[in-house]
Amino acid sequence: MIYVDRPAWPARGRLWSHLISDVSLAELHAFAEALGAPRRGFDRDHYDIPADRFPMAVWLGAYVVPSRDLVRLLRTSGLRRPKHLSRPAR
């Protein structure tokens, strides 16, 4: 399934949503392509989509969930790819 949170994340003068799949990255990329989201919007395990694309994502079938649920869904599915928190040795 595809999930999206409500636009609430400010960046570059806009509000953004996160778009994820709990099935596969292939499903996520196919949905993002249908949505018209550029591949550059993909970040490790999700797409950042601007608020003006949110209604279309829902129309195409994305389920709206709270932001906190997105990480849980990604972890449960095994698709979570967190940023590495450690710094390289100097």
pLDDT tens-digit map of 54-66: 999 999 999 999 9
pTM of the model: 0.86
Q: Collapsing DSSP states into helix, strand and coil, what is residue 21?
A: strand
Percent over 70 (pLDDT), the chain: 92
Cα(25)–Cα(43) distance, rounded to whole angstroms? 11
- Kindly state the average pLDDT of the residues 46-52: 96
Which pLDDT score, from 0 to 100, does residue 38 have? 94
Distances (CA, A) of 29 to 2, 10, 43, 81, 85: 10, 23, 11, 15, 26
H/E run at residue 42: strand 42-43
77 pLDDT band (50/70/90 cuts)? confident
Does pLDDT of 86 surpass 50?
A: no
